[in-house]
Amino acid sequence: MTTSTQPTSLDRRTVLKSSAATAGAATLVAGSGRATASRGPFRHGVASGDPLPHAVVLWTRVTPTDAATPGSGVGPRTSVTWQVATDRAFRNVVRSGRAATGPARDHTVKIDATGLRPARWYYFRFRHRGQSSPVGRTRTAPARDADVANLRLGVVSCANLQAGWFSAYRHLADRDDLHAVLHLGDYLYEYAPGEYGYGRENADIRPHRPAREMVSLADYRQRHGQYKRDPDLQRLHAAYPFIVTWDDHEVTNDQWRDGAENHQADEGGYRVRRARAHRAYDEWMPVRMNGTADLRDGTRLFRRLSFGTLAELSMLDLRTHRDQQVASSVPESPVGPYADPELSDPDRTITGRRQMDWLKDSLARDRAQWKLVGNPVMIAPVTFGSVPRDLIGPVNDVTGLLPDDGLAYNADQWDGYTDDRREVFAHIRDRGVTDTVFLTGDIHSGWACDLPYDVGAYPAARESAGVEFVCTSVTSNNLKDITGTPPGTSSRAVETAIMAGNRHVRYLDFDNHGYSVLDITPARVQMDWYVIGDRADRRAGVRWSASYACDSGTQRVRPVGGPVTGPVEVPAREGGA
């Protein structure tokens, strides 16, 4: 996601587009402006991810000595034992083992726990020298041929620690009705203290560590370690398996295949920097990269996860393989502004050829009814021609690249790579694909959109390739924050203008932060948006804001009068094994 570190100036950091635990477990406490944990060996909690019918990735980090902090490169090689059980008391342990770790992998531990039963809740923990980690809870996916009545996911994106407390994570962890959490990118941010924080002043609610922009491998490791010390994030990781992808800030702002906006020559080679970031991500996240939980130098993150015959989720990587974004300014012709022809150049790509062919295969597969796509940047076409001129700059800071005349496009998302979008949409139409839902983060705002084949003819021509639901940010600044205006003032003007010029955009919220819940049944997919109070208030509450759904076979969104309620189709905390 594009961010602005100083909305009123154009310096080098201004962006191009404007569980409870068992006895002996870590006890989480609140410090002055930061979250810390006890001095035990499992200071960074536990996590799980990428659930398959018979396996799930388990993660922790062990701190064998006080000096063996993240990124330090010091500390002895050591080992931990791990257990998976059907009950929280671990009376019925079904899988166990030992894993070695050390400074070469920053003392992280990542296990692919196999031999599990489909669609079951399990509990897991690690032990080191007689001390136990917090207990985590995870869930396997249903069998590939299982008839599944319900799938419910928490959906989050864009969590900047400097910009506020992670109340959205806390409230998601308090829920007892999810199967997994989908994180769509910007899990952490690269900036130094004072560069990108809370509101117009970029105040640091919790300053980043190290106190510089992360560039080295040690920097990335230390920053991951800081985020994993947050108690709300630890609780959420311990409660549900995560399914993740990255956007740009896991490396640096507006990255593309061979560079990034926020990378300069004095920071060394970009490919070297990216390799460091990817290595740290592989070490610190409960994810299978290159199809395995083993640490590797590969960068393949796009992958599929299935949930019986109900849904298949294709997670995209839209940073590693893309061409460079087009320039932020657009020249004018004698008759007015026009779009840069590079936007539709068929030789430019956001996915890369290999990932594009893989995505098309995913969409055409008949193994599951709903084709879900974890999409780091927005695919719906959006025009901004009628946005008030004095709000173009603030809109840039949140959503993307707009020329000063307000001509419509965001060159950092699919709007900047329109031939790739055309190819995806044409494939959906030509293969008769139905029930396609893109799930997106990145732009610090909530959206519900149809995906028309012909945006200029919409809504008269109602044919649509699918729908897109976009979640708000957890903490990262939105339009209200950047303009410093009360909710519903400048944001309302922009929302009205965008929706008037983009009839396929059915819902838009530039004012709020929080999380979403995606509920999937054979009849429909529904997205509920929940919003929190002030990000600077660690005790911020939460409320439901809006709900939109897509009925099976319609390829269009419709408003819903309230959120999904009640338990999912399987027991939550204690049952299921």
Distance of CA 275 to the CA centre of its chain: 20
Contact by Cβ (8 Å): 425, 453: yes
Per DSSP, the residues of 403-443 read: -TT-----TTSGGG-HHHHHHHHHHHHHTT---EEEEE-SS
Q: Tokens 């154009």, residue?
A: 10
Q: Residue 198's beta-bridge partner residues? A: 203
CB 78, CB 62: distance < 8 Å: yes
Kindly report whether the peptide bond that precedes residue 53 is cis, defined as omega within 30 degrees of 0. Answer: no
Instruction: List the structure tokens of 154.
Output: 């928490």
Amino acid in position 369: Q
Tokens 């191009």 map to which residue?
A: 16
Q: What is the pLDDT along the chain (577 residues), one digit of tens a residue?
A: 554 433 333 233 322 232 333 333 333 333 323 334 457 999 999 999 999 999 999 999 999 999 999 999 999 999 999 999 999 999 999 999 999 999 999 999 999 999 999 999 999 999 999 999 999 999 999 999 999 999 999 999 999 999 999 999 999 999 999 999 999 999 999 999 999 999 989 999 999 999 999 999 999 999 999 999 999 999 999 999 999 999 999 999 999 999 999 999 999 999 999 999 999 999 999 999 988 888 876 679 999 999 999 999 999 999 999 999 986 444 444 433 445 778 888 999 999 999 999 999 999 998 999 999 999 999 999 976 544 445 556 655 665 534 333 344 578 999 999 999 999 999 999 999 999 999 999 999 999 999 999 887 888 888 999 999 999 999 999 988 888 888 777 788 888 888 988 999 999 999 999 999 999 999 999 999 999 999 999 999 999 999 999 999 999 999 999 999 887 754 334 333 3
pTM to 2 decimals? 0.89
Alpha helices in 88-213 (DSSP H): 167-174
Helical residues (DSSP H) of 440-516, grouped into ranges: 479-483, 490-501
At 298 the pLDDT is 67
- How many angstroms separate the CA atoms of 493 and 486, rounded? 12
User: Which residues, including other chains, have CB under 8 Å from residue 230's CB and lie 6 or more apart?
Assistant: 35, 161, 166, 169
Question: Which candidate, 343, 311, 546, places its Cα nearest to that of 437?
Answer: 311
Q: Give the pLDDT of residue 24.
A: 34
d(CA 136, CA 129): 19
Structure confidence at residue 17 (pLDDT): 32
Report the SS3 class of residue 174.
helix
Pairing mode of beta strands 464-470, 436-440 = parallel
**Which sign, positive or negative, has the C-alpha torsion 488, 184, 374, 423?**
positive
CA–CA distance, 118 with 121 (Å, rounded to integer): 9
Rg (CA), the chain: 22
| Lookup result for tokens 């980090």 | 61
E-strand ranges in 91-135 read 93-101, 108-113, 121-128, 131-132
Assigned token pair, 123: 């509990």
Of 451, 520, 157, 526, nearest in space to 313 by CA: 520
Whose CA is closest to 383, among 413, 412, 409, 405?
409
Residues 6+ apart with CB under 8 A from 570: 119, 121, 576
Please report, for residues 209, 249, 274, 508, the alpha-carbon distance to residue 197 in angstroms, rounded to integers and kept in the order given. Answer: 13, 14, 23, 24
SS3 140: coil
Phi/psi at 137 (nearest 5 deg)? -120, 135
Pair of tokens at residue 397: 């800071």
Residue that is written with structure tokens 């070297």 in the block:
272
